[in-house]
Amino acid sequence: MPELPEVETIARGLAPLLCGLRFTDLVALDSRVFPGRTDDFCRAVLGKLITDVRRRGKLCLVELEDASLVAFHLKMTGRLFVARPQAEPAPHVRVLLPLDDGRALHFADMRRFGVCLGFAPGAITAWDFYARLGPEPFDLTPQAFAARIGARRTAIKAALLDQHAVAGVGNIYADESLFEAGIAPWAKACDLAPHRLERLHGALTGVLRRAIEAGGSTIRDYRTAEGVEGSFQWSFHVYGRAGEPCPNCQTPLQTQKIAGRTSTFCPACQTGERKHE
């Protein structure tokens, strides 16, 4: 958390609040969240017109008029919102970016895993994390998705979580899409028939779109840019529901650790059939 739908929701919420304004200052309160050089950041970012706010993978990117960027990786508990700067910042605010209308973009992060970075035009491509991001799920055809994911020799759940394979997918939406596609999370990606992987692509993009429409999923900390909780958590079929009956067949849902993450699945509805079976 936050995953693709949450970051997409945040970016869409911030765009009308920020576009047409300029950052006038930088207040870096925590070097762990702001690891860059302040003078480089200020030179690249301050005083330039904000033209767009968009998402790439799980990154929220604020675009400036000369193609400079401010990148936020929210990690587990990062939040972005616009408010008046305060003499005593709100709890967990790590970076403040005052705006020329008197407000400021606040980056709060309770657990301090997130980062805020500024990039001069074109410089973000030298950031290894960004350069190695895989394609967006929505940018792949079902056939291209099947070919890309089907080349992986790992568990299909691990392949979905690999940001180099496909960008933006995390634990929640991997579990939900695998359930909808009827695929066991431990099944080897390379063992799955192309038509099953194509079906998974449809399930994944469908789940992601519905989650975006619901404003994302709020488990604990996530809020939209307007401070509102998401509502997709009320539509979960399997995530966080271990021991409850499967919504399709009533078999108790089970869990298994895959790629270091807990996967929740239905042992009856989700199978790991191989290509030749």
Kindly name the residue from 12, 103, 188, 261 that is annotated as catalytic.
Answer: 261
Distance CA 156, CA 144 (A): 16
Amino acid at 235: S
Assess whether the previous peptide bond of 98 is cis (omega < 30° from 0): no
Using an 8 Å Cβ cutoff, are 118 and 41 in contact?
Answer: yes
Alpha-carbon dihedral angle through residues 179, 183, 184, 190, given to the nearest 10 degrees: -140
Rounded to whole angstroms, the Cα distance separating 60 from 67 reads: 15
Catalytic residue selected from 3, 6, 8, 63 = 3
Marked catalytic residue, from 2, 98, 137, 185:
2
Q: For this structure, is 244 an active site residue?
A: no
Alpha-carbon distances of 29 from 90, 97, 115, rounded to whole Å: 12, 11, 12
Identify whether 2 is a catalytic site residue. Answer: yes
- Mark whether 55 is an active-site residue: no
Catalytic, 88? Answer no
The label of the residue with tokens 């919504």 reads: 247
Q: If you count DSSP H runs as helices and E runs as strands, how many of each does the chain have, helices first? A: 7, 10
Give the separation between CA 98 and CA 104, rounded to whole angstroms: 4
Q: Could you tell me the end-to-end alpha-carbon distance of the chain, in angstroms, rounded to an integer? A: 36
Choice among 55, 56, 58, 94 that is catalytic = 58
Point out the residues that are catalytic: 2-3, 58, 261
